[in-house]
Amino acid sequence: MQKSGGFTEAAKVKVQEEEQDMKKVVKFGGSSLANAQQFKKAGEIIQGDIARCYVVPSAPGKRFSGDEKVTDMLYGCYHAAEADEDFSDKLEAIKERYYEIIRGLGLELSLEEEFAQIAENFRAKAGSDYAASRGEFLNGKIMAAYLDYDFIDAAEVIRFQDDGAFDGEETDRLLGERLNACQNAVIPGFYGALANGTVKTFSRGGSDVTGSIVAKAAHADLYENWTDVSGFLVTDPQIVEQPEVIETITYRELRELSYMGATVLHEEAIFPVRKEGIPINIRNTNRPEEKGTFIVESTCKKPKYTITGIAGKKGFCSINIEKSMMNGEIGFGRKVLQVFEDQGISFEHVPSGIDTMTIYVHQEEFEEKEQQVIAGIHRAVQPDFVEMESDLALIAVVGRGMRSTRGTAGRIFSALAHVDVNVKMIDQGSSELNIIIGVENRDFEKAIRAIYDIFVVTRI
């Protein structure tokens, strides 16, 4: 039998059959669809894999530094309409953005009817959600024409309840029926509609959510999220120069890092696919040859490093409570935390000792009510001493590899001591998935660089 590139013809046929059986949903962010050149890159990616059958586009993003996103242009245009001002020039500028893409792609496509409807609905004050959604709607029209795919208006298949909450069950039914009826389709991101047809949007970045919803309804094998970065980075590139890309991360690890400020993916986009066990692949439209980051429910793959990622936030303060024989006083912790709850303040961490208990809270949230909290603590538990410290930062070191590695906390302490960073607090969760370190705000960046260096660069 003839061989080609190391594969027998039978093996190649088998691979092609498996690709046909696979089903992928691909979402492209605004920077990936900002102009015709980016559209062509996205088109090559989609057409390069027969499994990429459903496409979720965002509105055009910035073409260059200082440019304006189309969504922001639409908000500005609608605000003018809402104020009964002449918005024709603003709408014309938006129209030109789309026709620039259409001309660049060599398409014979007219959006005059769509823009006439938009102008009419703006004059009728259809709402800012409707206005913002038109960015994705129009880009979806162009993408469908460019790929020769079916166009499915998200307002017809993504449903919100009357109170504005997403209706997952009804959306699954409507969207599933439509997707089953077509082999390839474009579904605009970011919006859906109430049962009466009123357009409703997700929060900014909601196209990620739409992609996840489509993947769930389609029973996809993979949800590819194409953006302008090659996946999740081990830490903030503004702190560490060119940090490593995370190859594989679990949903739990991602949740820990996202909570502490790491952002690439809209947080709500995780839940629909997680429920179905569908992996997410974060990819770079400008570097499609790179594998990006896989987000999975669980994996037996050994991580490249002991840690998966480092993230953190500044702006915390601590309230340290001391009382002799605290450990023998039943209900002590509950009474203290009740004081914070009564003042509407949520806590971040509560490390404790035999006679001490420390509560970490957001400083900005706490400052206005600090005296009420202190008075409440005295009334509730009669402490011997209460002390507060401000301008603190919390850093999360996250990684499934820490479970099977001895001395992780010791290495963190060693790295921080080496750069003269004083550790104010260290707290390890029972899952052994993360370690939280408290440092002064001024040491935040230095601490992250030191932790990155010892686990990723030197790997001692």
Q: How confident is the model at residue 12 (pLDDT cuts 50, 70, 90)?
A: very low
Q: Quick check: 264 pLDDT over 70?
A: no
Distance CA 291, CA 111 (A): 36
Rounded to 10°, the helix 168-180/207-217 angle is: 70
User: Would the pTM count as exceeding 0.75?
Assistant: yes
Q: Are 45 and 135 found together in one domain?
A: yes
Residue after which a domain boundary falls, among 194, 210, 228: 228
Cite the beta strand spans of 97-136 per DSSP E: none
Does residue 240 fall inside a structural domain?
Answer: no
Judge contact between 221 and 51, C-beta under 8 A: yes
- The reported pLDDT for the residue numbered 300 is 87
Q: Quick check: 332 pLDDT over 60?
A: yes
Q: Are 27 and 121 found together in one domain?
A: yes
Does residue 210 fall inside a structural domain?
Answer: yes
Task: Pick the most confident of 248-257, 261-270, 280-289.
Answer: 280-289
- The reported pLDDT for the residue numbered 23 is 96
Domains of the chain: total: 2
SS3 for 166?
strand
- The reported pLDDT for the residue numbered 302 is 82
Distance CA 269, CA 298 (A): 17
Residue 413 tokens read as 């302490």
Q: Quick check: 14 pLDDT over 60?
A: no
Judge contact between 248 and 216, C-beta under 8 A: no
Q: What is the pLDDT of residues 197-216, one digit of tens each?
A: 999 999 867 789 999 999 99
Q: Are 67 and 188 found together in one domain?
A: yes
Residue 203 neighbours by CB under 8 Å, 6+ apart: 266, 268
- The reported pLDDT for the residue numbered 83 is 97
Does residue 51 fall inside a structural domain?
Answer: yes
Q: Quick check: 19 pLDDT over 80?
A: no
- The reported pLDDT for the residue numbered 109 is 97
Q: Are 216 and 327 found together in one domain?
A: no
Cite the beta strand spans of 39-97 per DSSP E: 52-57
CATH number at residue 150: 3.40.1160.10
CATH number at residue 319: 3.30.2130.10
Q: Are 90 and 193 found together in one domain?
A: yes
- The reported pLDDT for the residue numbered 178 is 97
Q: Are 326 and 214 found together in one domain?
A: no
Residue 416 neighbours by CB under 8 Å, 6+ apart: 422, 423, 437, 439, 447, 450, 451
- The reported pLDDT for the residue numbered 129 is 97
Does residue 74 fall inside a structural domain?
Answer: yes
Residue after which a domain boundary falls, among 203, 228, 253: 228
Average pLDDT score, the chain:
92
Does residue 292 fall inside a structural domain?
Answer: no
Does residue 143 fall inside a structural domain?
Answer: yes
Q: Are 42 and 133 found together in one domain?
A: yes
Q: What is the pLDDT of residues 31-58, one digit of tens each?
A: 999 999 999 999 999 999 999 999 999 9
Q: How many CB atoms lie within 10 A of CB 313?
A: 15
Q: Are 65 and 159 found together in one domain?
A: yes
Share of the chain above pLDDT 90, in %: 80
Q: Are 74 and 220 found together in one domain?
A: yes
Does residue 303 fall inside a structural domain?
Answer: no
Residue 91 tokens read as 């709408």
Does residue 379 fall inside a structural domain?
Answer: yes
Distance CA 219, CA 101 (A): 32
Q: What is the pLDDT of residues 351-360, one digit of tens each?
A: 888 899 999 9
Residue after which a domain boundary falls, among 228, 254, 281: 228
Burial of 410 per CB tally in 10 Å (0-12, 13-18, 19+): exposed
Mean pLDDT of the 153-172 span: 96
H helices, E strands: number in the chain: 16, 19
Q: Where in the sequence is the domain holding 37, given as residue range(s)?
A: 22-228
- The reported pLDDT for the residue numbered 20 is 57
Q: Are 318 and 212 found together in one domain?
A: no
Q: What is the pLDDT of residues 366-387, one digit of tens each?
A: 999 999 999 999 999 999 999 9
Q: How confident is the model at residue 430 (pLDDT cuts 50, 70, 90)?
A: low
- The reported pLDDT for the residue numbered 458 is 87
Q: Are 219 and 361 found together in one domain?
A: no
Q: What is the pLDDT of residues 74-133, one digit of tens each?
A: 999 999 999 999 999 999 999 999 999 999 999 999 999 999 999 999 999 999 999 999
Q: Are 193 and 333 found together in one domain?
A: no
Q: Quick check: 362 pLDDT over 60?
A: yes
